[in-house]
Chains A and B, each alone.
Chain A
Amino acid sequence: MLRYTLLRVLGAIPTLLLVIALAFLMVHAAPGGPFDDERALPPDVEANIQRAYHLDEPLPKQFVRYLGGLLRGDLGPSYRYRDYTVSELISTAFPLSMRLGALAMALAIVAGVTAGTIAALRQDSYVDRCIMALSMTGISVPVFVFAPVFVLLFAVKLQWLPAGWSSTSGVSRFVLPVITLALPQIAYIARLTRASMIDVLGSDFVRTARAQGLGTLTVVRLHALRPAMLPVLSYMGPAIAAILTGSVVVEEIFGIPGLGQFFVRGALNRDYTLVLGIVVFYATLIVSLNLIVDVLYGVIDPRVRYR
């Protein structure tokens, strides 16, 4: 087990380096500098700015400097939010995004697994067809379509829930963003669960358990759920990435001051260091969460460890 975990951790390092190098190169290959759209500066002022941000150094040196900063948790200064470093901006904005994402993920797993299991138990029935049609809708319709339509319906027309992100609205302000963020993942997880549950329910050990006279729910809970969860678990990596992507849209539409909103603002303002920093941060997050999922996979299904 330890060997397996260690191998996985070592395998993640080149991936991360590749990500950082790619992102860094992309930003630095951009035509024109980050300060080009301001009014023309006197040459010596411009040279000073270049020096202050180390833009006068050769690219490999800048990259090594960036990596060194990264190891110390320093992602450099923001080009637009003048008095802040990128790390400060991320650490103020991320906790909120994380809360939102974690809630959405929890909802997605609970609702998706439940819906998928019900569909599998009632395979080819009316209920099954309904759940599958709904999940196809959830997969097809993008978050940025669901979000404004929900706001229009539940906040503007029916006025059940707040549309924006005011502190007066308490917990209710989380409802719409979390549901919107979770919807596509509920749909995916429901489909995955249904397929693997149907597989597992047809296997010999389930038949044996049934033959012993156990009820359907007991069989599912004690025997079928764990093996049926494996495909769902391996989907967690992409799900996390999708929720991060979705949070960019959801935060923009609901006006939530999270990391996704900073990312969009940074992208529109051409705040290179901020965008680069957030990409590196997201990538690190996704790679490490994938790592955890991989290791968990080995815990739940001991067979994979020996591959």
Chain B
Amino acid sequence: MRVGKNHAVSVSGSILLLVAALAVVGPWISPHDYVTTDFDRLMLPPSADGAHLFGTDDLGRDLFVRTMLGIRVTLLVAVVASLVSLVIGVAYGAIAGFVGGRIDAAMMRFVDTLYALPFIFFVILLMVAFERNFLLIFVAIGAVNWLDMARIVRGQTLSLREREFVEAARLTGVSTGRIILRHIAPNLMGIVIVYVTLTIPQAILVESFLSFLGLGVQEPQTSLGALVDTGVNQMEGAAWALLIPAGLLAAILMCFNFLGDGLRDVFDARQVE
């Protein structure tokens, strides 16, 4: 209910849904596909003529379909990578927070150590050393982004552990595993959802950064980062090839950030009550 009142959440949420829907439907209704080259139609500017809404690239491929495909890939990688970081982060944080004591201290010390590392360079190293494939991108990005989640979940678990209802459950003889599952986990949901929303733009950043450097998604597949990369090479003759994917990437990232911030405000307000 309160979510509806928060403009940042409703506006950016609707834009994201719209973009996602367009990315799914767009390639179906377009007469073009993302691989066919047409050497009579190189670097055409955007126009309804010939149904090249976003123009064509230097190989004569339709940029509308490629951009929609790029959005699909970018969103898919981001969501899956965020889920990977969610699973790792929640499990790690909940265990550290609930067990507490020396184990907690050691586990959090490890997280602190990892925080100091230049992760993106490790991801690049990983991409250099192994074959570049989708699965590896998911795992690599997910493995980078779980630290924040672990910290936040731990903090939340620490305070939940001391609450009356957990104490009551413990007194009536409920087992530890069941307490975590039935009493702690449901109360973590809100904050976890907020931080997943904030993890997604980070995952998008990493993926598009890799693809921009030519280390991520490989041709003829594409992502928004890869499209910006090719756009850079064509920008003097075909500015649209850079500006359209760059603008969309920026818009998507901003929407996720606004959405996450807004959700956090809504959630914080509920916490205060």
Q: Which residues of A contact B (CB under 8 A)?
A: 14-15, 18-19, 22-23, 26-27, 29-31, 136-137, 139-142, 144-145, 148-149, 151-152, 156, 237, 241, 244-245, 248-249, 252-253, 263-264, 266-268, 270, 272, 275-276, 278-279, 282-283, 286-287, 290
Contact = CB atoms under 8 A, between A and B. Distances in A.
Contact of B235 (A18, A156, A248, A275): A156
A96 B113 CA distance: 29
Contacts of B128: 30, 266-267, 270, 272, 275
A302 B156 CA distance: 29
7 contacts: A26-B129, A31-B130, A249-B212, A253-B232, A267-B213, A270-B128, A279-B121
B232 A148 contact: yes
Nearest to A14: B113
Nearest to A285: B118
Given A22-B122, A140-B254, 16 more contacts: A18-B113, A26-B126, A30-B128, A31-B131, A140-B201, A141-B253, A142-B253, A145-B228, A145-B249, A245-B209, A248-B213, A253-B232, A279-B125, A283-B121, A286-B118, A287-B116
Nearest to A289: B116
B261 to A, nearest CB: 8
A26 B232 contact: no
Interface in B128-172: 128-131
A152 B113 contact: no
Nearest to B128: A267
A156 B225 contact: no
Interface string B235-273: 110010011001001100110111001000000000000
B50 interface: no
Contact of A142 (B121, B209, B236): B209
Given A149-B242, A249-B209, A283-B117, A26 B125 contact: yes
A237 B117 CA distance: 10
A137 B253 CA distance: 9
Nearest to B239: A152
A237 B111 CA distance: 15
B231 interface: yes
Contacts of A29: 129
Nearest to B224: A145
Interface residues of B, number: 42
A139 B257 contact: yes
Contacts of A286: 116-118
A148 B231 contact: yes
Given A152-B242, A249-B209, A23 B228 contact: no
B118 A283 contact: yes
A276 B249 CA distance: 31
B127 interface: yes
Given A148-B228, A148-B235, A252 B213 contact: yes
Interface string B56-70: 000000000000000
B125 A144 contact: no
Contacts of B205: 142
Nearest to B109: A11
B90 interface: no
Nearest to B254: A140
Contacts of B229: 144
A279 B118 contact: yes
Nearest to B261: A136
B127 A267 contact: yes
Given A136-B257, A145-B249, A275-B124, A15 B242 contact: no
Given A148-B232, A283-B121, A286-B118, A30 B129 contact: yes
B13 to A, nearest CB: 16
Contact of A267 (B113, B215, B236): B215
A282 B212 contact: no
Given A149-B246, A253-B232, A136 B258 contact: yes
Most buried by A among B122, B125, B126, B208: B125
A305 B121 CA distance: 32
A98 to B, nearest CB: 16
B121 A144 contact: no
Contact of B253 (A27, A140, A272): A140
A138 to B, nearest CB: 10
A240 to B, nearest CB: 9
B120 interface: yes
Interface string B67-98: 00000000000000000000000000000000
